[in-house]
């Protein structure tokens, strides 16, 4: 490679698209690579409208190009793929079968835009001149495992991104990668600066990583080697650390580092937006932005128990952290980065810690305890309520309006506790539950035979009535007898109805029928005495009296019909109350026995001078409280027993029968 090309076309293309374009070797362009990426990695539900992506695969390229990649605007970041995401870059690298290495250079404001094509030495010279403005940003090599020792090495592609207002992306010559690594700034080492001065070079130890770490930790090969230290001669590849025996590693450096040493490989400096600009935020008194590592090994005292396990949960706060920077440099991390790395990447909290402390997960319960679930549900409800209250529009003066939460409906369904629980405060929400009917309850009790069905049918028939009203049309008084408000006079129409209403209807006759009256052969109807409104009122008063009377008659009839079923329920009730009383009596005797026994024991202890007066009194009171005031020994009242019975099937039957007896529904023929 003779010259480096600017893939961002002088900052006209955003960094993510520029990198996609650069990586798209085997693909047509960056869009093609992006389309493949979306097609292979995006999980789409079949019931979403977006399912066109999965159904048509690559055929629906237009949708991806227009909506997700935003092809018309090169400066716009594509959706679901970003150069700022470590995983995204790694996945794109895997798709193009290469390992991506990214550097960042932070130019001075005066430097402006860099040219489209620059000589290979341009960037080396530039970063050589700059001071602490060039660093390794992304390195996917530590997590690459070379399977065959003599197999072909995976291709490495290196890029340099400029930060600041104009972001450009250049591909670097891989042959010069070692030079760039040497000049990349290491801000977390003991002596911050370029890697060649701040770090120890592994190549200066013949490529032996262990020897380089020995030097870094101050271990002298001649004196410190134990007789039984065998098998840890040298490591020539980073990947060999992953499966190396931790106990031998710890034994090797125990004298120098004490309890624990963590070996990390730098993979990424987390960057989002403006944080690309500088890695020196600690100058402003703030902690640096996040870093990501691949954990090569954690060797601690615990390693002797399980030589192949990383005891991340036992990494002590004072652990030494050795960090590899690129392939050739290694340094000792310093605070605050050392403790940050330990806390952020090695410290395991919560579930992870619990899991790591186990040898395997077979004993991990599949179901959470009920108390935990209840607590979580309670917290969720509180959170949801908080969110709902935030979403409600604010009334005047910044106060949230109070809704009228009182329900006016008194029907059986709305009175159900389950229904109330499922109602949101602002209105009906989720689920409407209905109670068991009489026939269902009889069926559940096993007594629903044909006779019972016939009885229920008769009771229902007696509960239904019908009425009709005959009316006559009359002229509407549009104006009062005299102008002004001297006399209150009802007026219909006026400006509200724009004078369209001239006529209205007034009831003159009413008729009513139900099963009982039909059986008796009665025909009830009533008419107004004259044409006045008072006569209409008197008509309805008489009608209402008639209806209440007919309702009472029907209720008496239904009570006779339901006698057998009520008897059944009463027998259940008596048995239930008798059992409850017997249980309470037994419990009272038991409670008295326990209390007396305890009091006697305390008395004996006092007589033996094993208890002083105060202790005796307090223990006696505690005993009294534990037997007579605690929930464990509390006895139900008669009312509570009654409530409990009403929630049983016979109790529900009694309630429903009572409701059916009282119910009298009048239909009319007005739609």
Partner 1 sequence: MSSSAPDGKYAERGETRSGRRFAQRNFGHYPSLRHLEAAHPRLLQLEAPLSQRGFRIGVNRGTLVQATLRFSTRHPNIRAGLLDHFAQLFQEHVEDTESGFEVVVTFNAALSNAQSNSFSVFYGHDFRANNVAGAAPELSHSTYFVRTLGDVGRLPVEFNFEELAEAHRHAFEQSGVHIAKFLSVVYLVYRYVPPVRRSRLALTANRRRRLDQPPRP
Contact residues for partner 1 (CB under 8 A)? 43, 45, 77, 80, 82, 84, 86-87, 90-91, 93-94, 140, 143-145, 147, 239, 241-243, 246, 272-273, 292-298, 306, 308-310, 312, 344-345, 347-352, 355-356, 358, 360-362, 364
For residue 220 the two structure tokens come to 């002298």
Q: Are the beta carbons of 300 and 315 closer than 8 angstroms? A: yes
Closest CB 637 distance from partner 1, rounded Å: 45
292 vs 606, beta carbon nearer partner 1: 292
24 vs 297, beta carbon nearer partner 1: 297
For residue 87 the two structure tokens come to 């995983």
For residue 626 the two structure tokens come to 């534990």
Q: How far apart are CA 278 and CA 132, in angstroms?
A: 10
Closest CB 239 distance from partner 1, rounded Å: 7
Q: Are the beta carbons of 53 and 44 closer than 8 angstroms? A: yes
51 vs 413, beta carbon nearer partner 1: 51
93 vs 650, beta carbon nearer partner 1: 93
178 vs 356, beta carbon nearer partner 1: 356
For residue 634 the two structure tokens come to 């509390």
Closest CB 53 distance from partner 1, rounded Å: 14
108 vs 351, beta carbon nearer partner 1: 351
Q: Give the list of residues 6+ apart from residue 671 with CB closer than 8 angstroms, or none.
A: none
For residue 96 the two structure tokens come to 């193009």
- Most distant pair of Cα atoms in the chain: their distance: 128
Axis crossing angle, helix 533-561 with helix 563-607, rounded to the nearest 10: 70
58 vs 355, beta carbon nearer partner 1: 355
Secondary structure of 404-448 in the HEC alphabet?
CCCCCCCCHHHHCHHHHHCCECCECCCCCCCCCCHHHHHHHHCCC
Closest CB 19 distance from partner 1, rounded Å: 16
Q: How far apart are CA 284 and CA 328, in angstroms?
A: 31
Closest CB 294 distance from partner 1, rounded Å: 6
Closest CB 40 distance from partner 1, rounded Å: 10
For residue 375 the two structure tokens come to 């607590």
Closest CB 142 distance from partner 1, rounded Å: 9
364 vs 665, beta carbon nearer partner 1: 364
Closest CB 622 distance from partner 1, rounded Å: 45
Closest CB 352 distance from partner 1, rounded Å: 5
312 vs 323, beta carbon nearer partner 1: 312
Integer CA distances (angstroms), 173 to 4, 94, 107, 114, 120, in order: 8, 20, 20, 17, 7
Q: How far apart are CA 385 and CA 381, in angstroms?
A: 6
Axis crossing angle, helix 450-462 with helix 563-607, rounded to the nearest 10: 100
Q: Give the list of residues 6+ apart from residue 98 with CB closer than 8 angstroms, or none.
A: 23, 25, 154, 155, 156, 157
Closest CB 465 distance from partner 1, rounded Å: 49
Closest CB 42 distance from partner 1, rounded Å: 9
Secondary structure of 437-499 in the HEC alphabet?
CHHHHHHHHCCCCHHHHHHHHHHHHHCEEEEEEEEEEEECCCCCCCCCCCCCCCCCCCCCCCC
Q: Give the list of residues 6+ apart from residue 616 with CB closer than 8 angstroms, or none.
A: 602, 603, 605, 606
153 vs 360, beta carbon nearer partner 1: 360
292 vs 506, beta carbon nearer partner 1: 292
Residue 319 phi/psi, 5-degree rounding, is -60, 145
Closest CB 439 distance from partner 1, rounded Å: 36
Work out the number of other CB atoms within 10 angstroms of the CB of residue 175.
10
Closest CB 119 distance from partner 1, rounded Å: 33
86 vs 514, beta carbon nearer partner 1: 86
- Strand residues in 486-565 grouped as ranges (E): 503-514, 524-527
Integer CA distances (angstroms), 15 to 36, 76, 167, 291, in order: 19, 10, 7, 20
Q: How far apart are CA 418 and CA 103, in angstroms?
A: 61
292 vs 594, beta carbon nearer partner 1: 292
Helix (H) or strand (E) run with residue 649 in it: helix 649-662
């Amino acid at each position: 490679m003779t010259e480096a090309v600017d893939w961002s076309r002088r900052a006209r293309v955003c960094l993510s698209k520029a990198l996609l374009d650069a990586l798209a070797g085997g693909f047509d362009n960056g869009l093609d690579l992006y389309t493949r990426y979306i097609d292979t990695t995006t999980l789409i539900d079949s019931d979403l409208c977006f399912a066109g992506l999965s159904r048509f695969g690559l055929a629906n390229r237009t949708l991806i190009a227009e909506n997700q990649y935003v092809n018309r605007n090169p400066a716009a970041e594509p959706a679901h793929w970003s150069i700022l995401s470590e995983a995204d870059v790694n996945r794109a690298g895997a798709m193009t079968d290469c390992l991506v290495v990214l550097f960042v250079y932070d130019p001075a404001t005066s430097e402006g835009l860099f040219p489209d094509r620059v000589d290979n030495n341009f960037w080396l010279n530039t970063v050589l001149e700059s001071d602490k403005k060039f660093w390794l940003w992304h390195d996917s090599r530590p997590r690459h495992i070379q399977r065959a020792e003599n197999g072909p090495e995976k291709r490495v592609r290196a890029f340099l991104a400029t930060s600041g207002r104009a972001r450009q992306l250049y591909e670097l010559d891989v042959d010069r990668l070692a030079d760039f690594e040497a000049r990349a700034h290491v801000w977390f080492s003991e002596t911050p600066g370029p890697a060649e001065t701040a770090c120890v070079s592994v190549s200066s130890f013949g490529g032996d990583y262990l020897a380089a770490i020995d030097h870094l930790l101050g271990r002298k090969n001649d004196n410190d080697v134990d007789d039984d230290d065998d098998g840890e001669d040298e490591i020539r590849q980073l990947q060999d650390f992953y499966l190396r025996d931790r106990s031998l590693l710890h034994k090797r450096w125990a004298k120098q580092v004490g309890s624990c040493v963590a070996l990390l490989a730098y993979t990424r400096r987390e960057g989002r937006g403006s944080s690309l600009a500088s890695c020196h935020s600690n100058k402003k008194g703030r902690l640096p932005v996040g870093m990501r590592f691949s954990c090569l090994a954690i060797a601690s005292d615990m390693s002797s128990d399980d030589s192949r396990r990383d005891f991340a949960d036992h990494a002590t706060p004072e652990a030494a952290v050795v960090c590899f920077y690129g392939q050739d440099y290694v340094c000792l991390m310093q605070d605050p980065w050392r403790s940050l790395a330990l806390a952020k990447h090695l410290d395991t909290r919560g579930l992870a810690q619990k899991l790591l402390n186990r040898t395997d997960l077979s004993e991990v319960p599949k179901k959470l305890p009920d108390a935990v679930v209840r607590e979580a549900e309670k917290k969720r409800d509180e959170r949801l309520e908080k969110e709902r209250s935030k979403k409600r529009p604010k009334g005047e003066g910044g106060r949230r309006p109070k809704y009228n939460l009182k329900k006016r409906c008194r029907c059986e369904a709305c009175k159900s506790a389950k229904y109330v629980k499922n109602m949101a405060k602002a209105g009906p929400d989720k689920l409407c539950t209905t109670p068991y009917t009489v026939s269902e309850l009889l069926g559940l009790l096993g007594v629903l035979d044909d006779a019972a069905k016939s009885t229920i049918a008769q009771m229902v028939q007696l509960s239904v009535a019908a009425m009709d009203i005959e009316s006559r049309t009359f002229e509407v008084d549009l104006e009062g007898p005299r102008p002004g408000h001297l006399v209150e006079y009802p007026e219909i129409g006026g400006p509200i109805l724009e004078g369209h209403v001239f006529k209205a209807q007034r009831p003159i006759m009413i008729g009513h029928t139900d099963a009982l009256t039909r059986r008796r052969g009665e025909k009830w109807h009533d008419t107004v005495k004259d044409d006045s409104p008072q006569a209409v009122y008197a008509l309805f008063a008489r009608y209402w009296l008639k209806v209440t009377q007919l309702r009472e008659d029907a209720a008496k009839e239904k009570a006779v019909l339901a006698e057998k079923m009520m008897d059944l329920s009463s027998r259940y009730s008596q048995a239930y109350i008798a059992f409850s009383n017997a249980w309470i009596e037994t419990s009272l005797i038991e409670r008295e026995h326990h209390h007396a026994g305890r009091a006697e024991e305390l008395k004996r202890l006092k007589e033996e001078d094993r208890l002083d007066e105060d202790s005796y009194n307090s223990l006696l009171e505690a005993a009294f409280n534990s037997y007579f005031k605690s929930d464990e020994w509390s006895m139900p009242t008669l009312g509570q027993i009654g409530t409990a019975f009403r929630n049983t099937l016979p109790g529900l039957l009694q309630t429903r029968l009572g409701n059916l007896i009282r119910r009298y529904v009048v239909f009319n023929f007005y739609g």
